[in-house]
């Protein structure tokens, strides 16, 4: 595959699980390629690059030496530092896949080197960091989007369409949850306060984002949380009140698995997005007369392709943000989570 202008060239900053998931999605996405990866470890960067080499995306070429293979520009470039990736002139945009506390410094550094960004959720630790990124991106005329992958699935397009068309009347209430039981120790990011651990930022952000998508930013936010021995929220129940009295009732956890469904309740029916609703492929429409319709909207691959496609579409069009996940919405979402954490007395190191 050549580096033609028609191919969108991605860099991935970080080599963890979420970085692997995004890279796998790119291997099956026409017109996109993983161009480079950056890590603080040369060995990890090289191993990641080798895993996602592009031989399977083009005719296999024979090289007479390892040196020739290394020089082949169709292989993923491995950078032994995040800054080297940000400086790579062959990268069109960077996907930031580092732990939560690193998102803001990583994003600001990449913006200083002129790179468009897709930043894994949660966008940052808090609204102050989010605002700094947004202001910098706008000042430099660069695209930035929160990688809230659920927002871009084909089924979510259908949800928005059905609500616009009045399929359930006026949507008035949301019931949604996302909880899982972590099998990791207290040092892992799931429970580690130094790494921005806890349920809210890791998975509570999903139902909150859905509430923002449906109802806009909340006028009032309330929640209760159980704080575990590591000082982070292990379980939480959240209620948000939105314009015109619309309400969202949300639960989240990292110590137990919840049903992982979402119910959008309207004046003339309801939508039940089946588990796992945050990676959706089916929902049931229940009409006012009690009749039901199963709606299936499958997705391709592991589902990460859709956020990559949206980011590339916007960047190619010269847009600075996506209408499906605006920067104002990302900032509002961070402010909502700041309010909740303040009520729980949860601060992260450095805040």
Say yes or no to pLDDT of 183 above 80. yes
Ordered domains of the chain (ranges, CATH): 8-149 (3.40.50.720), 154-298+321-344 (3.30.360.10)
Q: Which pLDDT belongs to residue 1?
A: 34
Say yes or no to pLDDT of 60 above 50. no
CA-based nearest residue to 204, from 220, 225, 185, 186 = 225
Instruction: Please name the residue ranges forming H helices in 240-304.
Output: none
Instruction: Give, as one character, the DSSP assignment of residue 204.
Output: I
Q: Which residue has the tokens 């429409």?
A: 285
Say yes or no to pLDDT of 298 above 90. yes
Q: Which pLDDT belongs to residue 351?
A: 93
What is the biggest distance separating any 2 CA atoms in the chain, rounded to whole angstroms? 71
Q: Which pLDDT belongs to residue 56?
A: 42
For residue 62, name the pLDDT band (cuts at 50, 70, 90).
very low
Say yes or no to pLDDT of 184 above 90. no
Q: Which residue has the tokens 């000082």?
A: 231
* 3 state DSSP class of 286: strand
C-alpha of 252 from chain center: 17
* 3 state DSSP class of 294: strand
* 3 state DSSP class of 45: helix
* 3 state DSSP class of 51: helix
- Say which residue, 184 or 271, is predicted with more confidence: 271
Say yes or no to pLDDT of 67 above 60. no
Q: Which pLDDT belongs to residue 6?
A: 85
For residue 68, name the pLDDT band (cuts at 50, 70, 90).
very low
Q: Point out which residues pair with 241 in neighbouring strands.
A: 220, 247
d(CA 165, CA 159): 10
Q: Is 269 left (phi over 0), alpha (psi -120 to 50) or beta?
A: left
Minimum mean pLDDT range among 3-12, 290-299, 330-339 = 3-12
Say yes or no to pLDDT of 185 above 90. no
Q: Which residue has the tokens 């949507």?
A: 171
Q: Which pLDDT belongs to residue 5?
A: 56
pLDDT (average), residues 313-328: 98
pLDDT (average), residues 70-93: 86
């Amino acid at each position: 595959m050549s580096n033609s202008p028609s191919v969108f060239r991605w860099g991935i900053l970080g080599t963890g699980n979420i970085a692997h998931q995004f890279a796998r999605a790119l291997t099956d996405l026409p017109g996109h390629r993983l161009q480079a990866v950056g890590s603080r470890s040369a060995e990890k960067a090289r191993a990641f690059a080798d895993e996602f080499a592009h031989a399977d995306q083009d005719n296999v070429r024979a090289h007479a030496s390892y040196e020739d293979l290394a020089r082949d520009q169709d292989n993923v470039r491995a950078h032994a530092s995040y800054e080297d990736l940000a400086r790579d002139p062959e990268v069109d945009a960077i996907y930031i896949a580092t732990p939560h506390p690193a998102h803001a410094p990583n994003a600001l550094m990449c913006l200083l080197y002129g790179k468009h960004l897709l930043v894994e959720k949660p966008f940052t630790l808090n609204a102050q960091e989010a605002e700094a990124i947004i202001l910098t991106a706008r000042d430099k005329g660069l695209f930035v989007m929160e990688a809230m992958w659920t927002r871009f699935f084909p089924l979510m397009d259908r949800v928005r369409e059905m609500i616009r068309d009045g399929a359930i009347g006026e949507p008035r209430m949301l019931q949604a949850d996302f909880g899982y039981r972590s099998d990791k120790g207290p040092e892992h990011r799931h429970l580690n306060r130094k790494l921005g651990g806890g349920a809210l930022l890791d998975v509570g952000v999903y139902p909150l984002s859905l509430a923002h998508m449906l109802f806009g930013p909340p006028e009032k936010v309330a929640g209760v949380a159980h704080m575990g021995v590591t000082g982070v929220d292990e379980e939480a129940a959240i209620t948000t009140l939105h314009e015109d009295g619309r309400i969202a009732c949300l639960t989240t956890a990292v110590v137990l698995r919840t049903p992982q469904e979402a119910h959008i309740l309207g004046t003339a029916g309801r939508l039940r997005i089946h588990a796992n609703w945050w990676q959706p492929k089916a929902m049931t429409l229940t009409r006012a007369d009690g009749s039901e319709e199963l709606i299936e909207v499958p997705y391709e691959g592991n589902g990460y392709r859709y956020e990559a496609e949206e980011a590339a579409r916007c960047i190619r069009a010269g847009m600075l943000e996506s209408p499906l996940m605006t920067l104002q919405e990302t900032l509002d979402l961070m402010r909502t989570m700041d309010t909740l954490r303040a009520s729980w007395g949860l601060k992260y190191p450095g805040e």
